Amino acid sequence: MSAKQATTRPFALVVNPSSALGRGARVAVRVKRALRKAGVASVIISSPSVARCQVEVAQAAAEGVRGLILVGGDGLISTVLQVSAARGLPMALVPAGSGNDFARQFDLPRNPGRAVHALLHAAPRRVDLGVVHYRGPSGDPREKWFAGGLSLGFDAAINRRANALRLPIGPLRYVAGLFAEIMALQMREFSVSRAGETSHHHYTGLLATVMNIRTLGGGIPISPRSRPDDGLLELVEVAHVGKFRLLSVLGLLARGRHEALPEVTITSVQSVSIEAGTEIAFADGDEVGAGPFEVRVAPGALTLLG
């Protein structure tokens, strides 16, 4: 296929119509208008159903779209990344979710006109992704791809509480989940083995989280040095901490000043194995399930436009 033919193909404009109380649907209309003004064709994929969205994305990929433009947040990225054909397409993101941590990593514009100009004219970037292998409830092997991070422990519990809140308060749901989890504070048992290690190290602590980007929960800089183009993930471990000490730790974490704390260890890894009993992990805000978890980086697995 010639370069001219490639640029005449339409983009698939993928939108979560319920994202941020309908903001995603409204932004998608403006994105389509900006594309039309630039002389670029697009087709809209809009479904509140994860399964239906993935089917339509796979169909669009098979039909040979030019690329994918996602209008939504981290949850929409998670939905699309599970489609193998989608990962082979250039992908752009117009942030319209409640957290937008992946978009924040790259300072992607929220304005639809500026976003369209960037994705059409900026040089594409190769971006790492994370992959976690685990077992389903019946013991069947499963795989989940993530762009931001895999949370296990305290931050995953906050994520679960935030997802359970149906109030229209956007990222404040995470704040509400945070305070609820502080009040119910509990330590977890973790067993971790990094790539190249022959044995696991065990600790009782707050969390064991694997990050590809700097922030989670709508901007909390849990891994300040993460770079999604270095072929590495960051394993963030926080050991045992009491409730009163936790407030100090969280205060420093919120400002990205927690790396030197004695309870905190951040290690760059290509792969890591984590066991945490019946603890449920979350990836990019979506529930994964129980472990054990085998997590690895997929270097340069995504072509990002914009």
- Residues 248 and 292 occupy one common structural domain: yes
- Return contacts of 240-249, CB within 8 angstroms, 24+ apart: 240/187, 240/203, 240/204, 240/205, 240/206, 241/205, 241/206, 243/182, 243/185, 246/182, 246/185, 246/206, 247/182
Q: Is the pLDDT of residue 88 over 80?
A: yes
| 160 & 92 share domain | no
Q: What is the pLDDT of residues 206-261, one digit of tens each?
A: 999 999 999 998 889 999 999 999 999 999 999 998 888 988 998 898 899 999 99
Same domain, 107 and 133: no
- Phi and psi at residue 218, in whole multiples of 5°? 80, 30
Higher pLDDT, 164 or 148: 148
Q: Is residue 241 part of a domain?
A: yes
Shared domain check, 154 and 55 = no
Average pLDDT, stretch 121-137?
94
Higher local confidence (pLDDT), 119 or 181:
119
Residue 187 burial (10 A CB sphere; 0-12, 13-18, 19+): middle
Residue-wise pLDDT for 250-297, tens only, equals 889 889 999 999 999 999 999 999 999 999 999 998 899 888 999 999
State which of 122, 154, 187 marks the end of a domain: 122
Q: Which of 122, 151, 180 is the last residue of a domain?
A: 122
Residue 210 covered by a domain: yes
Tally of CA atoms within 13 A in the half-sphere of 169 that contains its CB? 12
Q: Looking at residue 136, what is its pLDDT? A: 81
What pLDDT is attached to residue 164? 64
Give pLDDT, residue 92.
Answer: 97
Per the CB < 8 A criterion, the answer to whether 53 and 127 are in contact is no
Are residues 147 and 75 part of one domain? no
pLDDT > 90 in the chain, percent: 66
Q: What is the pTM of this model?
A: 0.90
**Higher confidence at residue 239 or residue 17?**
239
In a domain, 305, yes or no: no
Question: Could you list the residue range(s) of the whole structural domain that residue 191 is in?
Answer: 129-300
Highest-pLDDT range among 132-136, 162-166, 225-229: 225-229
10 burial class (0-12, 13-18, 19+ CB within 10 angstroms)?
Answer: middle
Q: Residue 19: is its pLDDT beyond 80?
A: no
pLDDT reported for residue 147: 97
Give the number of domains in the chain: 2
Rounded Cα–Cα distance for residues 263 and 46 (Å): 44
Percent of the chain with pLDDT over 70: 92
How many other C-beta atoms can be found within 10 angstroms of the C-beta atom of residue 149? Answer: 30
Q: Judge if 48 and 133 occupy the same domain.
A: no
Answer yes or no: do 255 and 210 share one domain. Answer: yes
Supply the mean pLDDT for the chain. 89
Q: Are residues 202 and 278 in the same domain?
A: yes
Cβ partners under 8 Å of residue 140, min gap 6: none
* 165 band by pLDDT with thresholds 50, 70 and 90: low
Among 25, 21, 18, smallest CA distance to 49 is for 18
**Residue 3 confidence (pLDDT):** 47
User: Last residue of a domain, which of 85, 102, 122?
Assistant: 122
Residue 187 shares a structural domain with residue 166: yes
Both 110 and 237 in one domain: the answer is no
CATH number at residue 19: 3.40.50.10330
Regarding whether 283 and 220 lie in a shared domain, the answer is yes
Does residue 306 belong to any structural domain of this protein?
Answer: no
Look-up of token digits 């514009």: 109
Please check whether residues 96 and 158 belong to one and the same domain.
no
Residue 4 has pLDDT above 70, yes or no: no
Q: Per-residue pLDDT for 132 more than 90?
A: yes
Between 184 and 262, the higher pLDDT residue = 262
Asked if residue 272 lies in contact with residue 235, where contact means CB atoms within 8 angstroms, the answer is: yes
CATH number at residue 224: 2.60.200.40
